[in-house]
Amino acid sequence: MTSITYRDRTVQILPNVYEPAEDSFLLVDALLENIGDEDSVLEVGCGSGIVSVFAKDRCRKVVAIDINPHAVQCARLNGIDAIRTDLFAGIRGTFDMVVFNPPYLPTSEDEHVGGWDDLMLDGGPDGRDTIRRFVAEVGAHLNPDGQVLMLISSLTGIKEVCSLMQGAGMHVEKVAESRHFFEKLVVLEGLPDTKNQV
């Protein structure tokens, strides 16, 4: 077991769990800029639970989910109420904020490494396989005035992900970004587009 410290929090990391890096930190920063005291927050694909760790002291309720049993165990070790499920399969009800750091790397068949690493990183040929499923389902778990925060990479196709979200009835804005050696990371905010609803 290892640990990582960001801002004023130290998070324990178990084997077979994604280790927080620049993408996780950017999502934490975006969360802290947008979270409200009375919000209920759902972290999808929680990994170590680092985003939920920061949310926990700033809002009313936090639930974290991940398909990886090692991630669920790790998030619980870090004091987070975590549930093992594939995206929203085990979730009922709606939330004020849904936060997601998806597997977003474009990956071909010969790049698969196997095991839990594939689930953490493999976004399919265009990097958007899991993102498509998330975008199609998230609306059913979002309060009418709720908010989606999703981390993606320029490798995933920022315009294409924005189009997916808009196609699902969301108004989309970029609320955070950081540039790195081979990619730009951005956090997209999705809000229910009430202007287009009857």
The pLDDT tens digits of the residues spanning 3-50 come to 999 998 999 999 999 999 999 999 999 999 999 999 999 999 999 999
Helix (H, G, I), strand (E, B) or coil at 43: strand
Is residue 158 within a helix (H) or strand (E), and if so which, with residue range? helix 158-167
Question: pLDDT band for position 181 (50/70/90)?
Answer: confident
Question: Is residue 145 over pLDDT 50?
Answer: yes
Question: Is residue 106 over pLDDT 70?
Answer: no
According to the 3-state scheme, what is the secondary structure of 92-157? CCCEEEEEECCCCECCCHHHCCCHHHHHHHECCCCCCHHHHHHHHHHHHHEEEEEEEEEEEEHHHC
Beta-sheet pairing, 82-84 with 61-66: parallel
Output DSSP code: residue 195: G
Please state, as a whole number, how many other Cβ atoms lie within 10 Å of the Cβ of residue 100: 25
Question: Is residue 119 over pLDDT 80?
Answer: no
Q: Which residue has the higher pLDDT, 157 or 122?
A: 157
Q: Which residue has the higher pLDDT, 24 or 182?
A: 24
Question: pLDDT band for position 77 (50/70/90)?
Answer: very high
What average pLDDT does the segment 125-129 reach? 74
3-state helix, strand, coil in the chain (%, to 5): 35, 30, 35
Residue boundaries of the structural domains of the chain: 2-196
- pTM assigned to the model: 0.90
Given a contact cutoff of 8 angstroms between Cβ atoms, the answer to whether 60 and 38 are in contact is yes
The rounded mean pLDDT for the chain is 88
Would you say how long the chain is, in residues?
Answer: 198
Question: Is residue 196 over pLDDT 50?
Answer: no
Fold classification of 2-196 is Rossmann fold (3.40.50)
